[in-house]
Amino acid sequence: MTTAYTDFAELAVPAGIYPPQQDSHLLIEAMAGTGLVSRARVADLCTGSGVVAIAAAAAGATEVTAFDICPQAVRHARQSALAEEVSVRVHRGSWSRAVEFAPFDLVVANPPYVPHGPVDDTDSIPATAGPAQAWNAGTDGRMILDPLCAAAPLLVDDGGTMLVVQSECSDIKKTLAALRGHGMHVEVVAQQFIPFGPVMSARAKWLTRVGLLPPGRREERIVVIRADAP
């Protein structure tokens, strides 16, 4: 399992788009580490800036299909793929649209996974962190993770693989158990400890109060979970 401690500098993207951050790059590293990208049909769910989809195309994927609900993100991902001279089909819509194009050899996902409390704290988070829909995921952080795990058998071809990145605050064990419940072999293949960014800093007290974060923490554990279909 890869473990990284980093102060990776965020890359600039237009306001309103989730910028490539540590979780994006940890997912790219894990994807590369599988050795499965070349000649694979790849789906990138919740693509945001498109950085993971572009990395898959550059690594030799036969076909890369990306999805995002934000029209601005879709435009940016398409333009970025053209600039990088790689082929990526970017569709506007929920990650669940991928079922229409499934099954895939490899599915990668960086879904919203940050829990949020009853008080709207969006005004306290700078626009450079991206839109709230890119990180808000319900009071337990599993608004997307749960249905994504349930859809895994529909998305992944026989013998295929899914890679999902998430925070410790959104219950890593629950994701592992959910994917195992669908007969998939699962493991944590990468992890990274990162200092709190603006979103986690704004929510640290609430996360600690409700038991989703240990007291006194000023860094967050991010993991990549690999699930292999039989």
Kindly report, residue by residue over 92-124, the tens digit of the pLDDT: 999 999 999 999 999 999 999 999 998 888 888
Q: What is the mean pLDDT of the chain?
A: 93
- pLDDT exceeds cutoff 70 at 29: yes
Q: What is the pLDDT of residues 205-226, one digit of tens each?
A: 999 999 999 999 999 999 999 9
Domain chopping of the chain, boundaries:
15-228
Is a pLDDT exceeding 50 seen at residue 200?
yes
Residue 221 identity (one-letter amino acid): R
pLDDT above 90 covers a percentage of the chain that reads 85
Per the document, the length of the chain is 230
pLDDT at 2: 54
Cis preceding linkage at 126, omega within 30: no
- Closest by alpha carbon to 204, among 127, 131, 125? 125
In eight-state DSSP terms, residue 136 is B
* Sign of the C-alpha dihedral computed for residues 18, 21, 22 and 28 taken in this order: positive
Reply yes or no on whether the pLDDT at 61 is more than 90: yes
What the block records as the tokens of 137 is 């995921």
Q: Are 111 and 137 in contact (CB under 8 A)?
A: yes
Q: Phi and psi (nearest 5°) for 41?
A: -90, 120
Q: Where does the pLDDT of residue 4 fall: very low under 50, low under 70, confident under 90, or very high at 90 and above?
A: very low
pTM of the model: 0.93
Dist. CA 118–CA 41, nearest whole Å: 40
Q: Which fold has domain 15-228?
A: Rossmann fold (3.40.50)
Band the pLDDT of 10: cuts 50, 70, 90: very low
User: How much is the pLDDT for 121?
Assistant: 87
